[in-house]
Structure 1
Amino acid sequence: MEDYALSFWIYMGVMSVFVGGAMKKVLASHISAVPTLVAWLCVTVLVVRLCSLWPPAVLALAILCAVCYLLSGRGAPAHTLPTEGKAVLITGCDSGFGKATAHQLDALGFEVFATVLDLSGPGAVDLQRTCSSRLTLLQMDITQPQDVQQAFLTTKAKLGLRGLWGLVNNAGVCVNFGDAELSLMSNYRGCMEVNFFGTLNVTKMFLPLLRLAQGRLVTVSSPAGEQPFPCLAAYGASKAALGMFINTLRHELEPWGVKVSTILPSAFKTGQSINFEYWDKQYKNFVQNLSPGLLEEYGEEYMLETKELFQCHAKTAAEDLSPVINTITDALLSPQPQVRYYAGPGVGLMYFIYCYFPLSLSDKFLQRLFMKKKCHEQRHTKATIDSMVHQRFTGLQDVSLHTGQVTFFPVQ
């Protein structure tokens, strides 16, 4: 009886290791872990079957797990490439991810070319004051071809024959407000101009320097470019176009030795997202330019609630930018960088649900994030009532008037 109890507890210990490993993979933030998760689950089933057929296998597996655990604990730290002599250009360094990345890469020893919209702005001044002499500030609006050309010539002149080790496409904008039907055409064009055409122009311009160094192309994109986030149609469409371009480049640049990575961050407090005056200004511009017909159908209260929803998301966004900065650094320095990085709280789980759960469940997940509006529910109820009334009256075949009364003859 005592032997049975001992075997039982050893068995429970071994199964805890396997099941715990499986759960760890479920909660991991990288979708690439899913095949490993499947493998863990299959091995767990095999272990259960083996232990039921041959009890001594429990002890053998316990010893094996202990040995593997000890060996993994003594493993060498992850190898990274040296930064000496490597140059990186980062777009959009006035604030947010770009500015923080420029700080970190400069501290690691990279020669950093940081592009900003305003050389005299607070972001540029802070970078110049706090970073080393290796950092070079470049004025560049990625939507202006002459700015991109001048930044390229300056960078090429300083690098000589070394080439550019890394290009970090970080600059982007979310010029968007409201549902896809309500979003202004200027919002769609503004997002495409910056997020797609601007990044496209920068990438094409600097590719010869990247190929020369057999370097890294790192692009900060968004889950909104791959998942149908309500109220983010303009922004999402521009990021979807960018994603297709970058993924195509990944295949085309492989023979040249250039590795391509995409960063997919969750919500962070960066740029204008934390500026409530910005959202108020966007809202006023939005309502003033909306057609009277749409304004009447949706109602100004609905648009106001949309603005408040965006502001609420901005309040709850993460302040610590390190998850994104660390993934950019890994993409530049890892001997085998990942194709996709999921950076920030919740984004890995969101992708797991989107990719591996039924569409109905993933849709509910997105709607719970972005469709919490009371006005939306009221509008849905009104639309249902209107539809019922419409169906009732379209089912009438004839109308007769008798002494001021209306007689209805329904279709049989």
Structure 2
Amino acid sequence: MMDDYTFPSWIYLGVLAVFVGGAMKRLLASHLGPAPPLVAWLGATVLAERLWSFCLPAALLLALLGLACCLYSAARTGLARPGAALPARGKAVLVTGRRRPRPLCLGCDSGFGTATAKHLDNLGFEVFATVLDLSGEGARELERSCSPRLTLLQVDITQQQQVHQALLDTKAKVGLKGLWGLVNNAGVCVNFGDIELSLMSNFRGCMEVNFFGTLSITKSFLPLLRQAKGRIITISSPAGDQPFPCLAAYGASKAALNLLVNTLRHELEPWGVKVCTILPSSFKTGQSSNHAYWEQQHKQLLRTLPPALLEEYGEDYLTETKELFHLYASQANTDLSPVTDTIARALLAPRPRARYFAGPGVGLMYFIHSYCPLSLSSRFLQKLFLKKRLAPRALRDPPGFDPDLGLGLNNNNNNNNK
């Protein structure tokens, strides 16, 4: 009779693979010591094997596993309940931003900087907000909508002298208490398109702001952060972990930033400084819906491309990419609260997570990226971001094809010879 309840071997191996894979994934991703997650997951694996040895019915075993997952989820929710949050009063936070006309940044735009500064000010933080122009509309908007606790700093994070001056101004105000939080929000995405069609200056531009600029201001403010045993919150992007089509320059800079942040997390742990990464979904911020800007970028690309390369890809191929980008930007979320709320949660949680997903669909995206075959995850990204229908012109038309005549040049020569 017991044989009636025995699981097929492939189900047994599948569940064990989930347990062991989950253990390894959590161990590698955890910023805690290796012992707690390893012991917990090995214990769960042994428990699953023991239950199997008693030949429990499949329904009962699945119910036990489901109950364990529910208890684990409830425990995590209890740790993050609002009553457990740290007080915001008396804590100083610096929020970086870059108020220069620029394109969609998939989670790193001036819109986040403004919304974050306002939200943190409303919570009671002492906010230091960086702007490029103290007399600009963005700075005046913050002054009108925030409390007198807000301090505006004129900073371009790519200019070390301005970063140093901001450090001196902040240090003079915070004194011995130090800086509780640094929110690395500033970033740019200077173009979109295939790697072969992108200028080297586009890659350098993204790296200069997204990586070197963030590194510069983080290194400069680390003494104040160590003094307060504070937090570093960095707004990154899923494009830094996954190969989004036509976003190689932006994604490469975010990939470098992600590795930098992960390394900082381990190095600053002995100092008591917590380091978190926030990965937002698509939000409508800044210049993301500025069609005039992207039309200008598109025309400039057509002018600068070598004629032979433009012929091989085709102008219609480039135009389709631009239009798909417009469509994607127009459908982005206009409510920035998922990101600002997550930033506040990371700043005030007694035990902040190493990574936060902000916005719908990011968790599913990472699940598919982590656990599904590469071919499936790549196809998912292509369908999610830019649903290209046109292939490059050289792949559509045979060599020597003349679109005006509809005949290959070789055929024309043969006809002429006849």
TM-score, normalised relative to structure 1: 0.77
Q: Which residue of 2 aligns with 1:230?
A: 245
What is the CA distance between 1:380 and its match in structure 2? 3.7
What is the CA distance between 1:297 and its match in structure 2? 1.1
C-alpha distance in 2, partners of 1:218/1:141? 19
C-alpha distance in 2, partners of 1:379/1:354? 31
What is the CA distance between 1:116 and its match in structure 2? 0.8
Q: Which residue of 1 aligns with 2:350?
A: 335
Q: Return the match for 1:312 from 298, 320, 327.
A: 327
Q: Which residue of 1 aligns with 2:274?
A: 259
C-alpha distance in 1, partners of 2:165/2:243? 37
Q: Any idea what SS the aligned residue of 1:173 has?
A: coil
Q: Which residue of 2 aligns with 1:286?
A: 301
What is the CA distance between 1:46 and its match in structure 2? 5.4
Q: Deviations over 1:25-75 (max 9, x none)?
A: xxxxx9x89x999979x97x959x87749x9x89x98xx99x989x98x96
Q: Any idea what SS the aligned residue of 1:261 has?
A: strand
Answer whether contact 2:328 2:385 (CA < 8 A) is retained: no
Q: Which residue of 2 aligns with 1:218?
A: 233
Q: Return the match for 2:174 from 159, 170, 177.
A: 159
C-alpha distance in 2, partners of 1:371/1:102? 32
Tell me if 1:86 matches 2:91: yes
Q: Return the match for 1:101 from 86, 108, 116.
A: 116
What is the CA distance between 1:342 and its match in structure 2? 1.0
Q: Deviations over 1:374-404 (max 9, x none)?
A: 322765444xx559xxxxxxxxxxxxxxxx8
Given the superposition, is the C-alpha separation of residues 319 and 46 from structure 1 closer, same or farther in structure 2, using an over 3 Å criterion?
Answer: farther
Given the superposition, is the C-alpha separation of residues 276 and 215 from structure 1 closer, same or farther in structure 2, using an over 3 Å criterion?
Answer: same
C-alpha distance in 2, partners of 1:386/1:364? 29
Answer whether contact 1:93 1:114 (CA < 8 A) is retained: no
Matches within 5 A, 1:167-182: 167-182=182-197
Tell me if 1:360 matches 2:375: yes
Q: Any idea what SS the aligned residue of 2:279 has?
A: strand
C-alpha distance in 1, partners of 2:168/2:386? 47
C-alpha distance in 1, partners of 2:283/2:146? 24
C-alpha distance in 2, partners of 1:306/1:217? 36
Q: Deviations over 1:117-147 (max 9, x none)?
A: 1212222111101110100011111111111
Given the superposition, is the C-alpha separation of residues 133 and 300 from structure 1 closer, same or farther in structure 2, using an over 3 Å criterion?
Answer: same
Q: Which amino acid aligns with 2:265?
A: R
C-alpha distance in 2, partners of 1:332/1:372? 37
Q: Deviations over 1:147-171 (max 9, x none)?
A: 1111111001111111000000000
C-alpha distance in 2, partners of 1:75/1:191? 40
C-alpha distance in 2, partners of 1:139/1:52? 66
Tell me if 1:142 matches 2:157: yes
Q: Return the match for 1:326 from 330, 341, 344.
A: 341
What is the CA distance between 1:196 and its match in structure 2? 0.7
- Give me the CA root mean square deviation: 3.7
C-alpha distance in 1, partners of 2:220/2:135? 25
Given the superposition, is the C-alpha separation of residues 352 and 127 from structure 1 closer, same or farther in structure 2, using an over 3 Å criterion?
Answer: same
Q: Which residue of 1 aligns with 2:406?
A: none
Q: Any idea what SS the aligned residue of 2:196 has?
A: coil
C-alpha distance in 2, partners of 1:253/1:169? 16
Q: Which amino acid aligns with 1:90?
A: V
* Higher Rg of the two aligned structures: 1
Given the superposition, is the C-alpha separation of residues 148 and 75 from structure 1 closer, same or farther in structure 2, using an over 3 Å criterion?
Answer: closer
Answer whether contact 1:173 1:191 (CA < 8 A) is retained: yes
Q: Any idea what SS the aligned residue of 2:243 has?
A: coil
Tell me if 1:133 matches 2:148: yes
C-alpha distance in 1, partners of 2:331/2:223? 41
Given the superposition, is the C-alpha separation of residues 46 and 311 from structure 1 closer, same or farther in structure 2, using an over 3 Å criterion?
Answer: farther
Q: Any idea what SS the aligned residue of 1:89 has?
A: strand
What is the CA distance between 1:177 and its match in structure 2? 2.3
Answer whether contact 1:223 1:265 (CA < 8 A) is retained: yes
Answer whether contact 1:116 1:138 (CA < 8 A) is retained: yes
C-alpha distance in 2, partners of 1:290/1:310? 20
C-alpha distance in 1, partners of 2:326/2:71? 49
Q: Which residue of 2 aligns with 1:248?
A: 263
Q: Which amino acid aligns with 2:125?
A: F
Q: Which residue of 2 aligns with 1:398?
A: none
C-alpha distance in 2, partners of 1:75/1:341? 17
Q: Which residue of 1 aligns with 2:7?
A: none
Q: Which amino acid aligns with 1:113?
A: F
Gaps of 5+ in 2: 1-17, 19-25, 31-37, 100-109, 401-416
Q: Which residue of 1 aligns with 2:136?
A: 121
C-alpha distance in 2, partners of 1:355/1:52? 31
Gaps of 5+ in 1: 1-21, 23-29, 388-403, 406-412
Q: Which amino acid aligns with 1:174?
A: C
Q: Which residue of 2 aligns with 1:191?
A: 206
C-alpha distance in 1, partners of 2:255/2:98? 23
Answer whether contact 2:317 2:392 (CA < 8 A) is retained: no
